[in-house]
Amino acid sequence: MARMFGILIVAIAVTFGLNWLLDSFVDDYVVRIINLCGISIILAVSLNVINGLCGQFSLGHAGFMAIGAYVSAYFTTTLRYFDEAQAKYVAIEPVFAGQWGFVPALLAGGLAAAAAGAVVGIPTLRLKGDYLAIATLGFGEIVTIMITNFEKVGGANGLPGLPAYSNTFWIYSFVVLVVMLSWALQRSTFGRALIAIRENELAAEVMGIPASRLKVTAFIYGAFFAGVAGGLLGHLLQTISPATFNFMKSIEVVVMLVLGGLGSMTGAIVGAIVLTVLPEALRDVESSVGLPGIRMVVYALVLILLMIFRPQGVFGQKELSLKLLRRLMPGSKDKEGEA
């Protein structure tokens, strides 16, 4: 435990230093992409616990992000809306003002998303079969529709004026946290139990592993961090709208996992970075070639090629480690075959 806290504190100190370095010496646009990468990593690593480790197909990450974003914004942002009864604009002052209110606001967003995860997960994860995909799909739609119809938070027009609290320090502190916790989870009796459920649910249950309960736990864990990531994204973009968290956002996170290899956390991280940087790079191409939409074509192409040549993802279920790197080096004796 002491070691865990030690690593955490060192890592957070490093992100603090990194934040300072980037702020002082690196172009804003690059910093922004680095920050977006961090948010993508939180999303991909947390979804990997549900989809990869536990083998449950969730399409709900955007919905949980939306809840996290709006709930955290509720605590940090002055809400202005037209009050019908008083026939005038009114403002609600933020509950937690100032930078130090940011973490409690993020945690509140995460907890709200986790609670929503319990509501969606408890009834559906008990059923065998792919009900979760359908239920989470529906859930995402319901969340966006509810926000669209909720005028106090701006409805379809979105909610502007979120304070710019998100920075490299906060984002990467949560990256460190989610990576460490997910790693600890994966390498524990609970992680093995989740993999057992993925590999053969009946055998897992016959061995006394409470599959439904663990699936719900994994789902809530993933939802919590999706909520936190939503809060971080909201305070980075400073304006959020239901469209920010539409169905494509969920698909994007799934694609990150598939690219990196479902079940591999390092794969999820690499997938998150590639699929955050690539669209930005392609955006430049789009504007220079004058072909809007080519981004999506490339996206689809990458996926199709991957499905053909490496359906298990770049990493399969392996974790990137020095040992693996050495084995993959050309000329090494026990070179890995393409499974």
Partner 1 sequence: MSALLETSDLTIRFGGLTAVDSFNLAISEGELFGLIGPNGAGKTTVFNMLTGVYLPTEGAVHFDGNLINGKNPVQVARLGISRTFQNIRLFDELSVLENAMTGAHQHSKINLFDSLLRTPRHYREEKRQRDRAYELLEFMGLEDRAGLPAKQLPYGHRRKLEIARALATEPKLICLDEPAAGMNSGEKVELSQLIRKIRDELEITVLVIEHDMKLVMDICEKIQVLDYGKTIALGTPSEIQNDKQVIEAYLGGE
Q: Does 188 bind partner 1 (CB under 8 A)?
A: yes
Q: Does 184 bind partner 1 (CB under 8 A)?
A: yes
Q: DSSP letters of 197-248?
A: HHH-HHHHHHTT--HHHHHHHHHHHHHHHHHHHHHHHHHHHS-B-GGGGSHH
End-to-end CA distance of the chain: 38
Q: Does 263 bind partner 1 (CB under 8 A)?
A: yes
Q: Which of 50, 59, 211, 274 binds partner 1 (CB under 8 A)?
A: 211
For 291, phi and psi rounded to 5 degrees? Answer: -120, 80
How is residue 159 annotated by DSSP? B
Distance CA 121, CA 217 (A): 9
Q: Which of 18, 118, 122, 195 binds partner 1 (CB under 8 A)?
A: 195
Q: Does 56 bind partner 1 (CB under 8 A)?
A: no
Q: Which of 30, 134, 207, 243 binds partner 1 (CB under 8 A)?
A: 207
Q: Does 3 bind partner 1 (CB under 8 A)?
A: yes
State whether residue 311 is helix, strand or coil. coil
> Between 200 and 332, whose beta carbon lies closer to partner 1?
200
Q: Does 189 bind partner 1 (CB under 8 A)?
A: yes
Segment near partner 1 (CB under 8 A); pick from 21-29, 116-124, 186-194, 238-246: 186-194
Shortest gap between Cβ of 11 and partner 1 (angstroms)? 15
> Between 117 and 263, whose beta carbon lies closer to partner 1?
263
> Between 44 and 49, whose beta carbon lies closer to partner 1?
49
How is residue 98 annotated by DSSP? S
Q: Does 210 bind partner 1 (CB under 8 A)?
A: yes
CA atoms within 13 A on the CB side of 57: 10
Q: Does 85 bind partner 1 (CB under 8 A)?
A: no
Site for partner 1 in 123-182 (CB under 8 A): 181
Q: Which of 134, 202, 243, 248 binds partner 1 (CB under 8 A)?
A: 202
- What number of chain residues touch partner 1 (CB under 8 A)? 30
Token reading at 259: 């690219």
Shortest gap between Cβ of 273 and partner 1 (angstroms)? 25
State whether residue 73 is helix, strand or coil. helix
Strand partners, 178: none
Burial grade of 153 (CB within 10 A; 0-12, 13-18, 19 or more)? buried
Shortest gap between Cβ of 169 and partner 1 (angstroms)? 23
Distance CA 163, CA 89 (A): 21
Binding site for partner 1 (CB under 8 A): 1, 3-4, 181, 184-185, 188-193, 195-196, 198-200, 202-211, 217, 263, 317
